[in-house]
Structure 1
Amino acid sequence: MSTLIQDPNYPEQVLNKASNIKLLICDVDGVLSNGQVIIGNNSEELKTFNIKDGFGIKCLQKSGIAVAIITGRNSKIVEKRCQELGIEHYYQGQSNKQEAFDTLCKDLSVQPEQICHIGDDLPDLPLLVQVGLGVTVADGHWLMQQHADWITQNNGGFGAVREVCDLILHSQNKLEAIHQDYLTKAQPSGVKQ
Structure 2
Amino acid sequence: MTTASTVSTWYGEIPAQLLDRLQNIKLVIFDVDGVFSDGRIYLGNQGEEFKAFNTRDGFGVKGLLNNRIEVAVITGRRSEIVEQRMQALGVNHIYQGIEDKISCYEELNRNLQLTDEQIACMGDDVPDVQMIQRAGVGVAVNDAHPWVQQQADYVTSLRGGYGAVRELTDLILLSQGHLQLHGGVSL
Residue aligned with 1:129, SS: helix
Q: Is structure 2 residue 104 aligned with structure 1 residue 100? A: yes
Which of 46, 52, 55 is matched with 2:50 structurally?
46
Per mean C-alpha deviation after superposition, the further-off stretch among 42-51 and 53-62 is 42-51
**Structure 2 match to 1:90:** 94
TM-score (norm 2): 0.90
Equivalences, count: 174
AA aligned to 2:117 is E
Pairing 1:103-142 to 2, within 5 Å after superposition: 103-142=107-146
TM-score (norm 1): 0.87
| Superposed displacement of residue 41, structure 1 | 1.8
Per mean C-alpha deviation after superposition, the further-off stretch among 123-132 and 91-100 is 91-100
Q: Is structure 2 residue 170 aligned with structure 1 residue 160? A: no
| Distance (whole Å) between structure 2 residues aligned to residue 76 and residue 42 of structure 1 | 15
What CA deviation, in whole Å up to 9, does each residue of 1:110-142 have, x standing for no partner? 111110000000000010001000000110111
For structure 1, the 5+ residue unaligned runs are 1-5, 183-193
> Between Structure 1 and Structure 2, whose CA radius of gyration is higher?
1
For structure 2, the 5+ residue unaligned runs are 1-6
In the superposition, relative to structure 1, how do residues 169 and 24 fare at CA in structure 2: closer, same or farther (>3 Å)?
A: same
Q: Is structure 2 residue 173 aligned with structure 1 residue 169? A: yes
Sequence identity (%): 48
Residue aligned with 2:73, SS: strand
| Superposed displacement of residue 7, structure 1 | 5.0
**Structure 2 match to 1:189:** none
AA aligned to 1:19 is Q
Select the structure that is richer in strand: 2
What CA deviation, in whole Å up to 9, does each residue of 1:165-184 have, x standing for no partner? 00101111111xx12x44xx
Runs of 4+ in 1 over 3 A off after TM superposition: none
